[in-house]
Structure 1
Amino acid sequence: MVDPNSRTWQALGLAADVVVVNALTIVCSLPVVTAGAALSAAHGTLLEMVREEGAKPARTYFSYFTRTWRTATLGWLLLLAVGSVLGWEYWALGRMDGGAALVAQAGVLAGAILVTLWAVWFFPLASRGRGSPAPRS
């Protein structure tokens, strides 16, 4: 248990690296505009950690952040715009009376689910970025 190469110490090291990546993602997401790049960088870094390709999570994170900044930020701004419109529509329909408004709100929620699914697909794809290594099979 005291041996630094034991499974316990390796698991604790991996957990510490995940905490570092999480903290970097939170700090880099504070300016709302860069949240997309932060999410993509976190995905790429964690993927490398799982594949045991890198030992420096901060350096890897900022490498992915700079490589994927443009694509991920444009996707994030698109997501913010569509999410804002969907949120406004849901709010406006909630102020209306009748069953048609309820049906329309259900449609807006379905659209929000589709946008969320798109985001779950897009940010990992953006983490591959231009010049980043392709995933190994």
Structure 2
Amino acid sequence: MGNIFSTDGFLWRAMRDLTSLIIINIITIICSIPIVTAGAAAASMHYVLYQMIEDKEGHIVRSYMKQFKGNLKSATPIWLIMLLGTGILFFEYSTFKNADGAGRAVIMFVYAGFLFLAMLSVWLFPLTAKFVYPTYAYFRNAFILCITRLLRTVAMVVIMSVIPFILTHDLRLAPLAVLIGISLPSYFCALIYHPVLDQMIKQMRERKEEDDPEDKV
């Protein structure tokens, strides 16, 4: 029983992680209020979640804000492209939702477009959090991961759809949506994508050591 309540026990770790998720969620909401900065906020959130999984999160607010400033340049173009794509799909949906015949075929393409953007998004911002690429390379690599890690992709899309839906469609759960509505499903996704990104990071380090053998420790 003593081990449960010790600083190394399950209960203590669970409460610590829950507190961290609440802090991360609130910061992410605040940093997303100017809609244009939501991409940087998402990338910063995933960086801190990644650190949490590796038990390296340190000072959450300081780490988050440091990443947020750095992610504004890399994540904002990605976010704006995704926002534009989503806006176009919503426009097409509102135009053809009551149409017959060919209009219904358009709606099917719109649904497929939404699914495609959702699949991209679960990889885009974690990649932005951990890697430095040109903007096009983030989309290319996210697309590759969508295909090569399809089961993980589907699982993350389901998580990012179901949990927020549940929390936002019952007024009794509204406080939970404010506290953990973004960070909790993102944390579950981080548990799924962490092994993949960790492997990518190790491969990059190995290639760098092969290119610069004098830098090996």
TM value normalised by structure 2 = 0.57
The letter for the 2-side match of 1:12 is M
The letter of the residue matching 1:37 is A
Aligned match of 1:79: 82
Match of 1:55, SS? coil
5 Å-filtered alignment, 1:40-79, equals: 40-79=43-82
2:107 maps to 105
CA contact under 8 A between 1:44 and 1:127: conserved in structure 2?
yes
Q: Is the counterpart of residue 125 in structure 1 residue 127 in structure 2?
A: yes
The equivalent of 1:89 in structure 2 is 92
Pairwise CA distance, 1:129: 4.4
- The alpha-carbon deviation at position 5 of structure 1 amounts to 3.6
Matches within 5 A, 1:4-15: 4-15=7-18
The answer to whether the 8 Å contact 1:40/1:126 transfers is yes
- Whole-Å separation in 1 of the counterparts to 2:88 and 2:75: 20
Compute the RMSD of aligned alpha carbons: 1.8
| Mapped partners of 1:42, 1:90: distance in 2 | 30
In the alignment, structure 2 segments of 5+ residues that lack a partner are 133-196, 203-217
| Paired residue type of 1:90 | Y
Distance across 1 between alignment mates of 2:13 and 2:97: 51
Structure 1 CA distance for aligned equivalents of residues 87 and 105 of structure 2: 20
Task: Name the structure with the higher helix share.
Answer: 2
Pick 1 or 2: higher relative contact order, CA cutoff 8 A, min separation 6: 1
Q: Distance in 1 between matches of 2:104 and 2:10?
A: 54
